[in-house]
Amino acid sequence: MTTIAVFKWAMDPHDERVGVDGNVKWTANKPVAGDDDHAVVKVACDIAADGEVVGLTMAGGDTAFAAARGAKRTIAIEGVDPLAQPMELAGALARAIESQEGVDAVVIGDCAWQPMVPSLVASMLGWPCVLAVDDARKEVGSLVVTRRFASGTQDVQVDCPAVVAVAARREEENKPGMRAILQARKLPVENVAGDATGFKRFESQGTHAPETAPARIFDGSDPETAVAQLISALAAEGVM
């Protein structure tokens, strides 16, 4: 069976700017590894056990991220606008997944940059979906998934095939070394033409200034005065 680990598929919103013409501009032109992507590959490897993990990415350039962490091969989707909207991104991913045989699970980041994409992918595939996932393991015909639940956790059993969206708790502890990365670059990468067409989209009508008042900043070089000013402002807000 094949477990797909989706990585480098979303743009980092910190590369988003507002140009002098008031339109949104980007200082980057391709998706980068998200906070969750390292945990995605780990969970995919846990699910696959002896089976195959296949990386799936929307990024050109260095596609060895999943292979350096245990994937046997990688599929790189080409030709999709990196600024595609959630339905389009999900559509391109779902179509690439459908073209693979014998997939029992798709693991993807529960990405704060694109929070709707994992459940859209699941819905397009017609598969069940679990979000905010810490860990998962395979049982016969199903996955046992630990997800965050209120302030604790919950174990759920979900039928395969399924989409599992992993939310990393912290940075990667043991990053692959140069040797693993060089080895990974030798593993096969299949470039496939992406198809993100046929979905409804929003059209941007430009931007305007936010209505919220800018922050009131006090000079703390005289801490007593700054604190007195702050406390009276907080009292006026009714929070102090």
Partner 1 sequence: MESIWAVVAEGMSAAAVVGVAQRSGLPVEAYVFGDSELANRVASYGVSHVHWWSDEQTLPETLAMSLASRAKEDMPTAVVSSDQATSRVLLGAIAVVVDAAVAHGIISVAPSDGGVKVERYVADAEAVEVLCAPGPVVCTIADGVAEAEPAATPAPIEEMEPEQNGSIKVLSTNEEGEGANGLQDAERVVGVGLGVGSKENVALAQQLADAIGAEVACTLPLCDNYHWFEHNRVVGTSTQKISPRLYLSFGSSGAPQHMTGVRAAKVIVAVNTDPEAPIFRECTYGIVGDVSKVLPAFIQAVSK
Ligand X SMILES: Cc1cc2nc3c(=O)[nH]c(=O)nc-3n(C[C@H](O)[C@H](O)[C@H](O)COP(=O)(O)OP(=O)(O)OC[C@H]3O[C@@H](n4cnc5c(N)ncnc54)[C@H](O)[C@@H]3O)c2cc1C
Considering Cα of 216, then 222, then 223, then 229, what sign does the dihedral take? negative
Angstrom distance (rounded) from CA 88 to CA 200: 8
Hey, which residues does 167 pair with through a beta bridge?
none
Q: Are 144 and 131 in contact (CB under 8 A)?
A: no
The listed partner (partner 1, ligand X, none) that binds 18, CB under 5 to 8 Å by sort, is: partner 1
Q: Where are the alpha helices (DSSP H) in 103-149?
A: 117-125
The listed partner (ligand X, partner 1, none) that binds 192, CB under 5 to 8 Å by sort, is: none
The correct pick among 20, 21, 170, 221 for binding ligand X (CB under 6 A) is: 170
Angstrom distance (rounded) from CA 136 to CA 217: 46
Residue 61 CB, nearest approach to partner 1 (Å):
24
For the record, the structure tokens of 74 come out as 């990688």
Residue 87 parent element (H or E): helix 86-98
**Residue closer to ligand X (CB basis): 88 or 110:** 110
The correct pick among 111, 143, 168, 196 for binding ligand X (CB under 6 A) is: 168
Which residue stretch of 78-86, 128-136, 163-171, 191-199 sits at the interface with ligand X (rule: CB under 6 A)? Answer: 163-171
Residue 232 CB, nearest approach to partner 1 (Å):
10
If binding is defined by CB under 6 A, does position 110 make contact with ligand X? no
Q: Looking only at residues 172 through 231 of this chain, which bind ligand X when binding is defined by CB under 6 A?
A: none
Q: Looking only at residues 21 through 40 of this chain, which bind ligand X when binding is defined by CB under 6 A?
A: 35
SS3 48: helix
Angstrom distance (rounded) from CA 68 to CA 79: 24
Residue 229 CB, nearest approach to partner 1 (Å):
9
Q: Which residues bind ligand X (CB under 6 A)?
A: 35, 168, 170-171
